């Protein structure tokens, strides 16, 4: 289904997802000043709250300004409209009168794409399964989960090999439902940036835990406190170190699992996570969880990894055939924790 927002006529939906999109558009143009948004539940209990449409308009126009999107440009929607990520794609298209191509969300939404698109928002899992088609999209923002070093490398290699006819720009995003999509971008391609660049109208700082605080009055009336440990540079950019609730304390050493995960993902293609398991001697024992079947070759590759210090080397490696995920593709860390604990009890 294609929607041309330069005209006042909506197409007839033929699928359940298309019907959801049309329903949201009608909700957007009703007399209410707010719409309901559902959080993903990846870092807490899922909840539904009301968001002011005017704040969503501000967020949408700022993103379009940053990416240089204008009336008549094309956009591709392949994210659920239950969440802020999908809703904002629709609002951006409405605000800039973009031609919106609607695809039912899946892990490989670009399978039958044969035309060039100006803008698309995708999850890392979707990008992973669409590498052979990403050269057709001029601007891609990737969010919902961290982009692994392995995926970044695959993106760069693929686009350098394809030599696309359009100039591709791919960004990793940082944001949450409360910030109405992203408040910062980090370029993946053609330049690989180390720091997220904060967008206009956003102020950042650290709290007493060294976690990120966000003040963006045009998006949210209050300062937002996060559990994300970051390093701030020049007051306008930051590097994500890890979530404070994921920090592992082993033998008195604080270990940020996300940093180790980035290191390991440069060497093996599998999805992986580091966990801290209670241990009488160490306090917490560092364990590496690998998605897939037990593989001796992967074990050999893991043994060759040069960790920063000896205590960063996992004390145990566990293979889980398939990681549990929530609907938007993020790994369900809480459910995976239960699986790991049950495995270790046996």
Walk along the chain (346 residues) and give the pLDDT tens digit of each residue: 999 998 888 999 999 999 999 999 999 999 999 998 877 655 555 678 889 999 999 999 999 999 999 999 999 999 999 889 999 999 999 999 999 999 999 989 999 999 999 999 999 889 999 999 999 999 999 998 888 888 898 999 999 987 767 899 999 999 988 898 899 999 999 999 999 999 999 999 999 989 999 999 999 989 999 999 999 999 899 999 888 888 888 877 888 888 898 889 888 888 899 988 887 778 888 999 999 998 889 999 998 898 888 889 899 899 999 998 876 667 888 888 888 877 776 6
**Of 196, 109, 84, the residue nearest 146 (C-alpha):** 196
List domains and CATH numbers for the chain.
2-243 (3.40.50.12780), 247-345 (3.30.300.30)
Q: Give the H or E element holding residue 111.
A: none
Q: How far apart are CA 335 and CA 166, in angstroms?
A: 41
Which residues, including other chains, have CB under 8 Å from residue 228's CB and lie 6 or more apart?
A: 211, 212, 240, 241, 242, 243, 244
**Of 324, 326, 305, 325, the residue nearest 314 (C-alpha):** 305
**Of 159, 57, 169, the residue nearest 118 (C-alpha):** 169
Q: How far apart are CA 21 and CA 171, in angstroms?
A: 25
Predicted structure pTM score = 0.81
**Of 315, 260, 244, the residue nearest 282 (C-alpha):** 315
CA 322 to chain centre: 20
């Amino acid at each position: 289904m294609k929607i041309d927002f330069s005209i006042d006529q909506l197409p007839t939906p033929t699928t359940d997802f298309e019907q959801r999109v049309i329903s949201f558009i009608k909700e957007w143009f009703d007399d209410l000043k707010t719409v309901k948004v559902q959080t993903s539940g990846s870092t807490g209990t899922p909840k539904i709250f009301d968001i002011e449409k005017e704040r969503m308009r501000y967020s949408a126009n700022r993103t379009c300004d940053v990416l240089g999107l204008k009336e008549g440009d094309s956009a591709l929607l392949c994210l659920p409209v239950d969440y802020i990520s999908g809703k904002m794609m629709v609002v951006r298209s409405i605000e800039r009168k973009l031609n919106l191509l609607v695809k039912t969300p899946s892990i490989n939404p670009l399978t039958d794409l044969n035309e060039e698109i100006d803008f698309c928002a995708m999850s890392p899992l979707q990008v992973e399964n669409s590498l052979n088609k990403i050269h057709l999209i001029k601007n891609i923002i990737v969010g919902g989960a961290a982009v692994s070093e392995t995926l970044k490398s695959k993106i760069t290699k693929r686009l350098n090999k394809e030599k696309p006819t359009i100039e591709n720009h791919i960004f990793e995003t940082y944001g949450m439902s409360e910030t109405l999509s992203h408040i910062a971008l980090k370029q993946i391609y053609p330049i690989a940036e180390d720091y997220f660049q904060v967008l206009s109208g956003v102020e950042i700082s650290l709290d007493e835990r060294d976690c990120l605080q966000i003040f963006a009055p045009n998006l949210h009336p209050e300062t937002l406190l996060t559990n994300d440990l970051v390093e701030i540079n020049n007051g306008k950019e930051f590097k994500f170190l890890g979530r404070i609730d994921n920090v592992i304390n082993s033998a008195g050493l604080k270990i940020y699992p996300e940093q180790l995960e980035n290191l390991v993902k440069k060497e093996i293609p599998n999805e992986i996570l580091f966990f801290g398991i209670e241990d009488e001697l160490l306090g917490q024992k560092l364990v590496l969880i690998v998605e897939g079947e037990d593989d001796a070759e992967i074990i050999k590759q893991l043994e060759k990894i040069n960790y920063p210090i000896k205590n960063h080397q996992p004390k145990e490696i566990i293979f889980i055939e398939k990681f549990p995920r929530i609907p938007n593709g993020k790994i369900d860390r809480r459910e995976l924790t239960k699986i790991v604990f049950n495995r270790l009890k046996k």
